[in-house]
Amino acid sequence: MKSIEKLRNSKPVILPSMLMCDFTNIKQECDRLADAGAQAIHLDVMDGVFVPNMTYGIPIVEAFRKSTDMFLDVHLMIEKPESYIKQFADAGSDLLTIHVEATADPIGCIDLIHECDVAAGIAVNPNTDLEQIKRIAEKCELVLIMSVHAGFGGQSFIDEAIPRLKQMRELSDRYLLEVDGGVNKQTISRCADVGVDMFVVGSAIFNEEDYGSAISQLAILTETENKNA
């Protein structure tokens, strides 16, 4: 499983959400982010069925893999992800995260991801009871708590995500804890304070001219909060 231990040893990790990048210049965007200090990037795959939006699929993941050596954190917001896990693994994903709400057999999906020698994550939407993922989380390298409703970028952070993140952190330190949605300079410290390891960030990076400065400022906010906690 490529680099997952490296990420564990490099916390906190700021993951640019590539949904907001310039898709006409994937290689250039990846190079800029790598030069800015990004260790990993986050790819949102949406099917227009599980969520009310469509983004991209296997060919785009392959394009990112060919464009960068950075860790590819691939978030599958798709129905019946078990039908596509091997294809996304073969496309170059380093981590595949599936939604507990999207499959009748989430543990089977996690097992299948591991059989492909890829790290596995379980994601949960804001309105889903955390009890649905607690048993599954023990088998995963990552737990993703959505802090917006899955499907669109640019949404505002849902405050109720904070106690949910805290609950999953207190349950175990075994997995990396990730937050996705509305993460910016105003919200990232609160997430860090409850033990988040990985922060998916979109507009707070891509709306800035200097990616390096944006990532550095976000990382400083998480470190300051962790030191004061």
pLDDT at position 225: 45
Query: What are the structure tokens assigned to 41, written together?
Result: 């990037």
CATH 3.20.20.70 fits 4-228, yes or no: yes
Beta strands in 38-147 (DSSP E): 40-46, 71-77, 95-99, 119-124, 142-146
pLDDT at position 52: 84
The residues near 171 (Cβ < 8 Å, ≥ 6 apart) are 134, 137
69 is catalytic: no
pLDDT at position 54: 86
180 is catalytic: yes
Q: Which is catalytic among the residues 47, 73, 94, 180?
A: 180
CB atoms within 10 A of CB 39: 17
- C-alpha dihedral sign at 101, 65, 114, 37: negative
Q: Which is catalytic among the residues 44, 47, 94, 197?
A: 44
pLDDT at position 1: 58
pLDDT at position 152: 66
pLDDT at position 229: 42
Task: Show me where the domains of the chain are located.
Answer: 4-228
- pTM, to two decimals: 0.94
